Structure 1
């Protein structure tokens, strides 16, 4: 049995709010960034972690070359780690609660963002819908 949304919930307004919030300025995490994708055949949410440095303009740069990283297209850089999980919770536990204590995230807002994205990816995996990282 499907549960109907509360009449006071306006899905279009919530989507518009999220789209507006996605345009805000964020400080990049000096510990690196993640590219999130689905491995549908294996039924997994995957996250590749890459290191970076942040230059004086706030841009993420390749730690080897010092050049700004492209925001579109594929990166030829090798990832430092690939994480995967069947659910958003499993993936978060692997990243944030790993036994060696080496967490690749240094900003709380980055951690919150990843939790939101992993949840979106899990929903897309379960529903068979497309997932595009925000």
Structure 2
């Protein structure tokens, strides 16, 4: 049996590693970005896709207004270009990547990020814990 102190040490080392990896440069997906939500009433995950354009500096802009998009939200409400709903991360992942396109992902690192976040959201849905997208 693994000691609690060993488990805590491994968890802390993983947290430190993940925090350092989060500081690296990330090229944005020119096909857009996603917001992930948990709908407890419907027992579903919701994945909303929003289009954007990327400028020479790597900043994302609203394709309609040209406004630079901020993680803190913009001056107006945007409507998603597509909405995916499912009961599990796998179900949404299949919708997002298989079958007839278009598929709104153009970067593998973005797909991996979405997979991690959808798994986290599914865990929150299953356990009743609140979900916050990273």
TM-score (norm 1): 0.89
1:45-94 per-position Cα deviation (integer Å, ceiling 9, x unaligned): 11100000001110110011112012114661111011011111011001
Unmatched segments (≥5 aa) in structure 1: none
Aligned to 2:80: 79
Say whether residues 1:53 and 2:53 are aligned partners: yes
What residue number does 2:118 align with? Answer: 118
Partner of 2:27: 27
After the TM superposition, which parts of structure 1 deviate over 2 Å for at least 4 consecutive aligned residues?
A: 3-9
Query: C-alpha displacement at 1:5, in angstroms?
Result: 7.8
| Structure number with higher helix proportion | 2
CA distance in 2, matches of 1:110, 1:36: 13
Question: For the structure 1 residues 14 and 84, does the alpha-carbon distance in structure 2 shift closer, same or farther, using more than 3 Å as the test?
Answer: same
Deviation at 1:23, TM superposition (A): 2.2
* Structure 2 gaps, min length 5: none
| Aligned position for 1:12 | 12
Question: What's the C-alpha RMSD, in Å, of the aligned pairs?
Answer: 2.0
Task: Report how many aligned residue pairs link the two structures.
Answer: 131
